[in-house]
Structure 1
Amino acid sequence: MLRKLLCVVGAGLLLVPAMAISAQADCAEQITLRVDDWSSGDRVEYMNQVLEAFMAENPCVTVVTEPNISDDANTRRLTQILTGTAPDLIATGESWIPLYQEAGAFLDLTPFIQGENGFDPAEIFYEGVFNQGFYRGVPYAIAKDYSTSAFYINNALFEAAGIPLPEDGWTWDDVLDIALELTVDANGNNANSPDFDPENIVQYGIDIIPDGWWRGFQSYLYSWGAHTISDDGTTTAGYLDSENAVAAWEFYRDLVNVYHVAPSATILGSIEGGRTQMFQDGQLAIGNTFHGPWWQDVFNETPNLSWSVAPLPAGPDGIRESAVMWMGWGINANTEHPDEAWALLRWLTTEPGQRVFALKALSADRAVSEEMQRVDDPYWGVFIAEADHLGQLDEQLNPYYGPCVFTPAGDLLTRVMSDGGEEIDIAAELTALSAEADACLAEAAEAGVAAVAEGS
C-alpha cells in the first residue's frame, strides 16, 4: 500500500501538558492550533522541546496542548468529534481510526502529501507502521510512535539448561520444546520427565496472556493464519471460528492444561505483580510474551536478572505476521487552519520531532532509527525488525469491531485460560461468539456512531 500510494501520507502528533507554547513575532495573524495530548512523565518535557522548536520556526503559530490521558480518553475524543469540539490535531490509536472517521473526524491527508510541502512516505516510513493510519485505502493519521511485540528471555535459565537463545525463524513447536525443558517441579524434574509433578511447579517455561488482552492474542492468531473478520469487514463467520483459529486456541490452552509449561490465568492473577514479577524472580524462562519495548528500564534495574528479547515465533505454516500498537494524530476535518496543522503534524512525525521522541520510543522514521543505531541494537532492533511482519489489523476493517469482537473475544480468552477453562468447547464457543459478533456489527452499523458514544 505504501508504494502504491507514494504520495499519500499524514503525520502523527505528540503530547504536552495543559499549556500553550508560543513565540513573539510580527504577524498579520497569530494562529492558534489545539493539539490532543496524551503525554505524561518525562514525555512532557520531550513534547515541550519539540513544540518549542516548531514555534521558533513558525513564530506566528501558537500551540495549545489539551491533555487527554484518562481511562475514557478514546470515547471522550469520539464525543468531541461528534459535537464539533475536537482540537485541530486529533490523537488516535490505530484501532479507533475507523470509528472516528465514520464520525467525520479527519481530513484525507493525500493532498498534503502530494502538495508542495509533502513528501514520499516510501522514503521515510516503515511501510507496515505507516499503513496503520489508513482506513478504506485513505491515509488519515500518522504515528507519533508505535510498538511491536517480542518475547522476553531469561538468559540465565536458558544457559543453565544448555539451550541456545531463540533466534529469528523459530516456531511455536520450538517454543513448546523449549518450554518443556525449562518447566521444572520442586524435585528438579522438567516437564519431559515421567516423574514430573504438575501440581508442584517452581519454574515455568513460558507464560500466557492472563487478562484477555486481545491485541496481544491477535499477534498469536495471525501467526496461525487466523484473522477474525473478512477482508471486506462484513462478517466474522468462518474467520473468528475457522479451523486455524480453533487449532490456535486449543494449542494455546494446552500450554497450561496438557503440557503444564505455563501458569493459568488464575495462578497469574493470584501473584502480586503477575507474570512480570515471576519473570523478575526467575520463575519464568520466557516471559511477558507479546509485550512491547516497555520493560527495559524495569528489568535493567532488577538485581541478578540477565535478560534479552527474542523475535516472535512463526506459526505451523511458517507464517510470520503480527499486530501493532500505535498512537498518532490526524487533522481535524473542521480545522480552520489545515495548512498550519499539516506543518505541525509533519514536524512531529518526521525528523524534527522523531529525533526527540525516539529517545524513549520506536520511531516509524527509518532514517532516525538508523542514525540512532536502533536497527542493530540487540534490544530495539528486535522490535524494529518486527515492523516488517505487521499485518492488517482486523479492527481497521469495521468501525464496530471493538465492542462487537475485541471485547467479547477477550472475555472468552480469560475464561479459557483460567482454572476450569479446559472444560470449555472452544469450537462451539467461537461459533456462538461469531454469530453474536455478526449480529452486533449489523446492529451497530444501523444505530450509527452516535449510539456507540452514548453507550460507552
Structure 2
Amino acid sequence: MKKRGLLSTIGILGLLTAVLFTGCSSQPSTTEGGQVELFLGYSSDPPTKKKMEEIIAKFQTSHPNIKIKTETAPYEDFYQKLTTQIAAGTAPDIWQSDGTKVFGFAQRGAIRDITDYVTKEVNKDEVNGLEFNKDADGKYWGVPQGIQVGALFYNKDLFDKAGVSYPTADWTWDDLKAAAAKLTLDANGKNADDPAFDKNSVKQFGFTFFGSSRGAFNILKAYGGGVLDPTMTKSIINSPENKKAVEWMADGMKRRLFPNPADLKAFQSNFKVFLSGASAMQIDIYAATTAMNGAELNYDVAPLPKGPDGKRFAPVIANSWVINKKANEQKVKAAQEWITYWTTSDEAQVEWTQVGEAIPVKKSVANSDKFLTNNTKPENKKVFLDSLEFAGTIDTNAVFAEWVKVFTDNLSDLFMDKYGVDEYISKTDQGIQKVLDDFFKK
C-alpha cells in the first residue's frame, strides 16, 4: 500500500451490481502469434514504473507464450480509473491491489477466489504475508506483491540530546509514554515532566500517531481490543480493553505529549511532524523509510510496544496480486504464471528490493543481505521481519474507508476535548455498526 493511500478504498459506486451484471472485457485472449495477452495493472511512481517494466521484460523472455500489456498510473489515479473499469467490465486481468482493498474487491465480487491455486501451487513456507489475504472462511483472494508492516520509528538525535535510552523490544506502551514525556519540550526547553512545562507552547512532541496503520488501531489491539470481529461485520469497540487503550491515548493528548488533530493540521501533513524533527517517535510502515532517508534523518526502528498483558501488535498491509473474476481460463493461467514468477524468482525479488518500496515477499530474499544490509537506513531492518510474527491486518473490508472515517472523526473530537472517553466508545461503536449493517445486511 502506498503511504498516501492508506485511508483510500474503492468508493460506494454500486460496484457489486455492476460487477455481477456487466460483461467480460472485450480484450482478445490471444495474439495472432498464439501468445496469451495478459492485461496487468499497477499503481506506480517513476522509480517503481521503471523497475516493474524491467521485471516484466525479463518475465516475457522466459515466458514467450505470454505477452503482457500494462496499465499504470499514480496511486489515486490508478484506483479511480480501476473503479470505473470494474463497473464497465474492462478492468485488467490481474492487478496489484493495495492490501487494504483486497477484501473489499472480494466482497464486491470483483476478483477471483484463488484458494485452489494457492493451496496447490504456492509454497507457504517461502512467501511472506500469504495468510493476510485469507478471509474468515479460509478463502484466499490474493498473493502478496510486497509487504508493509508497522514499527516504531525514532529520531536518534532527539533521544541523544534528551539523554533518553533508545526503545527496546521490552518496551510497553507505558514505557513509551514515560519516554515521550521526557522528549516533549516547550518553547523554553522544559520537558513534560517539569512542573514549569508550558503545554500551550510545545515545540517538540514525544510521539506522533494518526490514521489507521499508523495510529490508534495498533494501540487498541495491543491492549487486547480492536475494531471489528473476525467476520469483519460486527463492531467490538465497546469493550473494557478498548476503553483502557483510549484512556491511555486521551491522557497523552491532555498532557500534550502527542500532537492533537489541530497540531497535525498546522504542519499541513501528518508526516511532517516526524520528518521535520518536531517529534521523537512515530508509528510507521516500511514504505516510509524512503521519505525519511530523503530527509536525511538520523533514525532507526524498534518493535511496537507491548500492551499491559504482554500482547504486541503490528499492522500489516499485504499489497497483492489479484485476478479479475471475469478473466477467462487462459488469462487466469497466465496470471498465475506471473504470480509464481514474482514470488519464486530470486532475480525479480532482488530487483524489486532495490526500489526500497516494500519488504520482499520471498522469505529467503527478505532474510538476505540484499534486504537487511543494503547500505540504507534504518540499520535494524530485521525489526520489520520479526514484527511479522505478531502482525495482523487493520480490519479491512468493503466499507473500510467508511468505518475508518467514523473511527477517526470521533477520535479527533475526543482528542480536542469535545466529549469524554465513554461517549467516544458508545458513539463510535454505534456509528461503525451502522456502516457495517448498511452494507452487509443489504
Per-residue CA deviation, residues 49-95 of structure 1 (Å, 9 max, x unaligned), is 11111110111211011125453644643443344322110332233
The answer (yes or no) to whether the contact 2:152–2:304 under 8 Å persists in 1 is yes
The answer (yes or no) to whether the contact 1:214–1:409 under 8 Å persists in 2 is no
Letter in 2 for 1:268: L
1:15-414 matches, within 5 Å, as 29-71=34-76, 73-74=78-79, 76-115=81-120, 118-122=121-125, 124-126=126-128, 129-135=129-135, 136-209=137-210, 212-213=211-212, 216-236=215-235, 239-257=236-254, 259-272=255-268, 275-276=271-272, 278-286=273-281, 289-302=282-295, 305-336=297-328, 337=330, 338-351=332-345, 352-359=347-354, 360=356, 361-375=358-372, 378-396=379-397, 399-403=398-402, 405-414=403-412
- Pairing 1:415–2:413 present: yes
Letter in 2 for 1:154: N
Task: Using structure 1 for the length normalisation, give the TM-score.
Answer: 0.81
Report the CA distance shift for 1:177/1:347 in structure 2 as closer, same or farther (over 3 A).
same
Report the CA distance shift for 1:111/1:271 in structure 2 as closer, same or farther (over 3 A).
closer
Letter in 2 for 1:333: K
Per-residue CA deviation, residues 291-345 of structure 1 (Å, 9 max, x unaligned), is 1123434444546x42222221111221111221231111222222221111012
The answer (yes or no) to whether the contact 1:183–1:191 under 8 Å persists in 2 is yes
Structure 1 residue 166: Cα displacement: 0.8
Per-residue CA deviation, residues 400-433 of structure 1 (Å, 9 max, x unaligned), is 3442x2221122223333xxx2241232233223
Distance (Å, rounded) in 2 between the aligned partners of 1:378 and 1:251: 30
**What secondary structure, in the 3-state scheme, does the structure 2 residue paired with 1:296 have?**
helix
Percent of aligned positions that are identical: 23
The answer (yes or no) to whether the contact 2:112–2:323 under 8 Å persists in 1 is yes
The alignment covers a number of residue pairs equal to 402
**What secondary structure, in the 3-state scheme, does the structure 1 residue paired with 2:54 have?**
helix
The answer (yes or no) to whether the contact 2:152–2:302 under 8 Å persists in 1 is yes
**What secondary structure, in the 3-state scheme, does the structure 2 residue paired with 1:266 have?**
helix
The answer (yes or no) to whether the contact 1:99–1:400 under 8 Å persists in 2 is yes
Structure 1 residue 201: Cα displacement: 2.6
Report the CA distance shift for 1:153/1:214 in structure 2 as closer, same or farther (over 3 A).
closer
Give structure 1 stretches of 5+ with no counterpart.
Answer: 1-24, 448-456
Structure 1 residue 132: Cα displacement: 1.5
Report the CA distance shift for 1:70/1:285 in structure 2 as closer, same or farther (over 3 A).
closer
The answer (yes or no) to whether the contact 1:82–1:103 under 8 Å persists in 2 is no
Distance (Å, rounded) in 1 between the aligned partners of 2:154 and 2:214: 21
After TM superposition, the structure 1 stretch with the greater mean CA deviation from structure 2, 64-73 or 39-48, is: 64-73
Report the CA distance shift for 1:233/1:157 in structure 2 as closer, same or farther (over 3 A).
closer
Distance (Å, rounded) in 2 between the aligned partners of 1:367 and 1:316: 34
**What secondary structure, in the 3-state scheme, does the structure 2 residue paired with 1:95 have?**
coil
- Pairing 1:427–2:433 present: no
Report the CA distance shift for 1:194/1:315 in structure 2 as closer, same or farther (over 3 A).
same
Structure 1 residue 101: Cα displacement: 1.8
Report the CA distance shift for 1:256/1:391 in structure 2 as closer, same or farther (over 3 A).
same
Distance (Å, rounded) in 1 between the aligned partners of 2:399 and 2:269: 33
Distance (Å, rounded) in 2 between the aligned partners of 1:300 and 1:78: 33
Letter in 2 for 1:103: R
Distance (Å, rounded) in 2 between the aligned partners of 1:295 and 1:333: 33
Per-residue CA deviation, residues 152-203 of structure 1 (Å, 9 max, x unaligned), is 2121222233222111121111111111112222333221122222223332
The answer (yes or no) to whether the contact 2:42–2:78 under 8 Å persists in 1 is no
Distance (Å, rounded) in 2 between the aligned partners of 1:104 and 1:157: 49
**What secondary structure, in the 3-state scheme, does the structure 2 residue paired with 1:138 have?**
coil
Report the CA distance shift for 1:173/1:30 in structure 2 as closer, same or farther (over 3 A).
same
Give structure 2 stretches of 5+ with no counterpart.
Answer: 1-30
After TM superposition, the structure 1 stretch with the greater mean CA deviation from structure 2, 309-318 or 192-201, is: 192-201
The answer (yes or no) to whether the contact 2:104–2:396 under 8 Å persists in 1 is no
Q: RMSD of the alignment, in Å?
A: 2.5
Distance (Å, rounded) in 2 between the aligned partners of 1:42 and 1:36: 16
Letter in 1 for 2:150: S
The answer (yes or no) to whether the contact 1:81–1:104 under 8 Å persists in 2 is no
Letter in 2 for 1:271: F
After TM superposition, the structure 1 stretch with the greater mean CA deviation from structure 2, 386-395 or 218-227, is: 386-395
Report the CA distance shift for 1:170/1:214 in structure 2 as closer, same or farther (over 3 A).
closer
The answer (yes or no) to whether the contact 2:233–2:440 under 8 Å persists in 1 is no
Report the CA distance shift for 1:98/1:262 in structure 2 as closer, same or farther (over 3 A).
closer
The answer (yes or no) to whether the contact 1:375–1:384 under 8 Å persists in 2 is no
Distance (Å, rounded) in 2 between the aligned partners of 1:193 and 1:320: 31
The answer (yes or no) to whether the contact 1:36–1:66 under 8 Å persists in 2 is yes
The answer (yes or no) to whether the contact 2:151–2:284 under 8 Å persists in 1 is yes
**What secondary structure, in the 3-state scheme, does the structure 2 residue paired with 1:147 have?**
strand
Distance (Å, rounded) in 2 between the aligned partners of 1:279 and 1:113: 40
Distance (Å, rounded) in 2 between the aligned partners of 1:392 and 1:296: 20
Counterpart of 1:22 in structure 2 is: none
Report the CA distance shift for 1:69/1:300 in structure 2 as closer, same or farther (over 3 A).
closer
Per-residue CA deviation, residues 341-381 of structure 1 (Å, 9 max, x unaligned), is 11012212333432211221211211111223535773422
Distance (Å, rounded) in 1 between the aligned partners of 2:268 and 2:80: 31
Distance (Å, rounded) in 2 between the aligned partners of 1:283 and 1:400: 34
Task: Using structure 2 for the length normalisation, give the TM-score.
Answer: 0.83
The answer (yes or no) to whether the contact 1:34–1:89 under 8 Å persists in 2 is yes
